[in-house]
Amino acid sequence: MKPRNTLLTALAIAIAALALWFADGTLGSFAMRILNLSAIYIVLSLSLNLVNGFTGLFSLGCAGFMAVGAYVSALLSMTADVKEMNFFLEPLTPFLQNLSLPFPLALVAGGACAAIAGLIIGLPVLRLRDDYLAIATLGFSEIIRVLITNFQSLTNGAQGLKNIPRKATTWTVWGVAAATVAFMALLTRSSYGRQLKAIRDDEIAAEAMGVNVFRVKVVSFTISSFIAGVGGALLGHMITTIDPKMFTFMLTFNILLIVVLGGSGSITGSVVASIAITILMEAMRFLDGPLNLVFLKTDGLPGLRMVVFSALLMAVVLFRQRGLMGDRELSWDGLAKAGLLPRNKKGGMA
């Protein structure tokens, strides 16, 4: 990297951290929650982008892996009393009843279990082609949900889990989001990342060039599941209640919306879209309530907000298929070229 860019990146991170610190101190808890939610969406959209955008696999299983991560992390970190309160219909299996891990360990365990689920699911389905893969991963995601609903003594079934420790603080979620961004940037710009993109561009040519296509796909899918699991776990530790109904296809759809809008194959695109969409989703809540637009008065149309978002996705796919960023990234060099930064005088070759 050019010294200028390293400097600018360090500066940007410092400014972001400072802004976050400032926001944490001044914004109300509701606004902070939305800001933190966008950090979790960054994690989740990067997870989906790794598979859909960088590896070219159309997976719709995101919600299932999130559910695995959320449940595992919640069950491992709740105290024995809270568990007892939750499981009033049928007691939790004794093994888990008295196990209570520190939050970071529970979080990693959530990701790891999601990764294992991803591996188990990936081995059979990653041999399938595009739309079959989509429907099979969607199917598995639903199967996970049905299993969670029915394993009363392990998951508390349809009642879900309440009073999950509120551990996903501002610094935790943004730290995880930053780590995920860094991980993705390093991975996609490495020799290994090039293999992912090769599969996306032309699977047959990639295989002929000696890329072990199936294995690389499985690795990508498993890593993505891990990240989705961590994201799901963070979500649980932020809103403190989870139940199987949360993890329907609708959730995958929201994340897909972010990835497509930001540009599949673009990390910065996902980051920007995560923040924009999360804030927009909240800002547009007024649409569901009574409207008074002078010429148009309604007394609340619940669902109008989602209409707007579905229409937005349709519009992007139809008119700007490649999303905000396409597969490009926001970069210092790009900004410099656009004249938004002073020209680099000293910097030599990359």
Q: How far apart are alpha carbons 149 and 199 in whole angstroms?
A: 36
Rule CB under 8 A: choose which of 63, 109, 126, 206 binds another protein: 206
7: closest CA among 179, 334, 15? Answer: 15
221 binds another protein (CB under 8 A): no
201 binds another protein (CB under 8 A): yes
Rule CB under 8 A: choose which of 6, 150, 166, 175 binds another protein: 150
270: closest CA among 333, 200, 327, 313? Answer: 327
Rule CB under 8 A: choose which of 32, 82, 147, 284 binds another protein: 147
308: closest CA among 288, 325, 289? Answer: 288
Question: How many degrees, rounded to 5, is the angle at CA 332 between CA 342 and CA 261?
Answer: 130
In the bound complex, what is the minimum distance in angstroms from residue 169's beta carbon to another protein? 26
In the bound complex, what is the minimum distance in angstroms from residue 137's beta carbon to another protein? 10
191 binds another protein (CB under 8 A): yes
Binding window for another protein (CB under 8 A); candidates: 23-31, 40-48, 111-119, 249-257: 249-257
Rule CB under 8 A: choose which of 253, 276, 333, 347 binds another protein: 253
Half-sphere exposure at residue 245, Cβ-oriented, CA atoms within 13 angstroms: 4
237 within 8 A of 77, measured Cβ to Cβ: yes
DSSP 52: I
Q: Hey, which residues between 98 and 137 contact another protein (CB under 8 A)?
A: 124-125, 127-128, 130-132, 134-136
179 binds another protein (CB under 8 A): no
140 binds another protein (CB under 8 A): yes
At which residue do the structure tokens 């070759």 appear?
349
46 within 8 A of 184, measured Cβ to Cβ: yes
Name the CA dihedral angle for 323, 324, 327, 329, rounded to a multiple of 10 degrees: -170
The residues with which 292 forms a beta bridge, in sequence order, are 297
Residue 131 or 294 with smaller CB distance to another protein: 131
Residues that bind another protein (CB under 8 A): 52, 56, 58, 124-125, 127-128, 130-132, 134-136, 138-140, 142-143, 146-147, 149-150, 183, 186-187, 190-195, 197-198, 200-202, 204-213, 219, 223, 249-250, 253, 256, 260, 265, 301-304, 306-307, 309-311, 313-314, 317-318, 321, 327
